[in-house]
Amino acid sequence: MTETTVETGGATGSRVLVVGGHGAVGSAVVAALDGWLPGRVLAGGRGRGVRVDVTDPEAFGRTLGELGEGPAPLGAVVMCVEPPDSGAARACLERGVGVVDVGATPALLDGVAGLDGVARRAGATAVLSVGVAPGLTNLLARRAHEAVGGAERIDLTVLLGAGERHGADAVRWTVEGLAEPVTAAPGRYALPGYGRRAAHPFPFADQYVLRRTLGVPEVTTRLALDSRALTAALFTLRRTGAARPPAVRRLLTALFRRVHTGGDGFALRAEAVRGEQRVALALAGRVQSRVTGLVAAHAARALLDGALPSGVHHLEGLPALADLPERLGLTVVREARGPEVREVR
C-alpha cells in the first residue's frame, strides 16, 4: 500500500480580517486567532485598524482586493458586526474569500445562505450561526434532536447575564427584538445554575434555521435575563407595546449600555420532543461575547485549515465543529426527569 499525501485544500499561510475586530466579540476573535496564527490577523472597523465599512459593499470589495495583493493572500473574513444586507459577504465569496458570520438576524442569514452557489463556484466557504445563540444553541438542538430520533418540536432557551458589558451592536440587536411580533407563549425552563426561569419568545435566528436544517416543524427560542425583575420589566414593555416606538428603543439601548445589574454568566438549553420522548440538554458559561468570539475563532481556523467544505453552512451542519462545547470547556448536561443532571458527550 502506498502512502498518499492529502492536500488540505486550505488557505495555509493566508491572512484573516476580523471586521468589528475592536468590539466585544471581535476583540475575543482577534485574541484567539493571534495565538494560533501570529502575524496573520488583521482587525478592522470604521474607526481603527483596517478601515472598512460593511454598509458599503463596493468599497469593502476594493479593500478586500487590496488586502489580497498584500504579503499573503486573504483567506477569510470574520464578520463581528451586522451589515444591513448580504453585500459584504457576497464581496468576499465572489473573490474566493471565506466568511465566518456571528450575525443573529434571520433575514441577514437567509441572504448569505442564498449565496451558496456563488461560494461553491468560487470554491469558498461561509459559516453562519456562529456564536452562543445562534451557534451553541444550534449544536445543542442537533444533539437533542438526534437523541429523540428526530424531534417534532424543539424549545430553545437562552439566559443572558444583564451584568455583562455587552457590545453596543449586540445591545442594539437585543432591544430591536422587543419590537418584533410575538410568535409563541412564554415558558418556564430549568437552566444550570439558575433554577427554573420564565423565558419569552425572542427572534433569534436559530429557531428559523433549525426548522430547515433539521427538518423540525416547530422550533421556538425564548430569552431570559439573569435578573428576574429585569426580565419581567422588559417583557412587560413588549407586551404592552411600549417598546415599539423607536425613541423608546433608543432610550433602552442607552440604558442597557450603562446599567449593569446581574452577573456575566449565560445558560443555554435545548429540549427536543417526539411523542412521549423528551430530551433536554443544557450548558452554562461566562461572558457570552467572549464565548461567541471563541466559537468564531475556531470556525475561522477550521476554514483556513481547509477542514470545511465549500458552500454556505450553518454551524450544526459541520461535523468538524460539532464538539465545540467540549473544546471550549463547556459541560453539556442532560436533564433527568427529577432534579438530577448528568454529563453527556
First to last CA, the chain: 36
Assign 3-class secondary structure to 226-275.
CCHHHHHHHHHHHHCCCCCCHHHHHHHHHHHHHCCCCCCEEEEEEEEEEC
Binding of residue 292 to ligand NAP (CB under 6 A): yes
Residue 84 has phi, psi (to 5 degrees) of -70, -25
114 grid coordinates: 442564498
Nearer CB in complex with ligand NAP: 15/273: 15
Can you tell me which of 80, 113, 219, 225 binds ligand NAP, judged by CB under 6 A? 80
Name the minimum Å distance from CB 213 to ligand NAP.
Answer: 16
Backbone angles phi, psi at 329, to 5 degrees: 75, 20
Residue corresponding to grid cell 448528568: 342
Stretch binding ligand NAP (CB under 6 A), from 48-56, 190-198, 227-235, 259-267: 48-56
Q: Which of 46, 274, 278, 334 binds ligand NAP (CB under 6 A)?
A: 46
24-36 vs 288-304: helix crossing angle, rounded to 10: 40
| Among 221, 231, 289, 310, contact with ligand NAP (rule: CB under 6 A) | 289
Cβ-based nearer residue to ligand NAP, 90 or 148: 90
Give the nearest distance from C-beta 95 to ligand NAP in angstroms.
18
- 211 is a contact residue toward ligand NAP (CB under 6 A): no
Interface stretch with ligand NAP, choices 15-23, 212-220, 265-273, 278-286 (CB under 6 A) = 15-23
Q: Does 102 bind ligand NAP (CB under 6 A)?
A: yes
| Identified binder of ligand NAP from the candidate list 20, 111, 192, 201, rule CB under 6 A | 20
265 binds ligand NAP (CB under 6 A): no
Give the residue from 154, 158, 202, 160 showing the smallest Cα distance to 182.
202
Measured distance CA(111)–CA(109) in Å, rounded: 5
- Contacting residue, 131, 177, 201, 262, with ligand NAP by CB under 6 A: 131
Cβ 64 to ligand NAP shortest distance, Å: 13
Can you give 106-170 as a three-state secondary structure string?
HHHHHHHHCCHHHHHHHCCEEEECCCECCEHHHHHHHHHHHHCCCCCEEEEEEEECCCCCCCHHH
Report cis status (omega within 30 of 0) of the bond before 134: yes
Residues within window 181-200 making contact with ligand NAP, judged by CB under 6 A = none
Residue whose C-alpha cell reads 427560542 in the numeric block: 221
Q: Binding ligand NAP by CB under 6 A: which of 22, 95, 257, 260?
A: 22
Looking at the Cβ atoms of 133 and 148, the one nearer to ligand NAP is 133
Q: Which grid cell sits at 182?
A: 410575538
Among 10, 11, 18, 26, binds ligand NAP (CB under 6 A): 26
Q: Which residue from 18, 32, 133, 234 is in contact with ligand NAP, where contact means CB under 6 A?
A: 133
- Concatenate the DSSP letters of all residues of 71-105 into one string: SS-EEEEEE-S--SSTHHHHHHHHTT-EEEE----
User: Is 64 a binder of ligand NAP (CB under 6 A)?
Assistant: no
Among the listed ranges 8-16, 77-85, 178-186, 310-318, the one in contact with ligand NAP (CB under 6 A) is: 77-85
Identified binder of ligand NAP from the candidate list 12, 48, 123, 212, rule CB under 6 A: 48
How many residues line the site for ligand NAP (CB under 6 A)?
35
- Looking at residue 45, its amino acid is G
- Can you give the binding site for ligand NAP, defined by CB under 6 A? 19-20, 22-26, 45-48, 52-55, 80-82, 102-104, 131-135, 166-170, 173, 288-289, 292
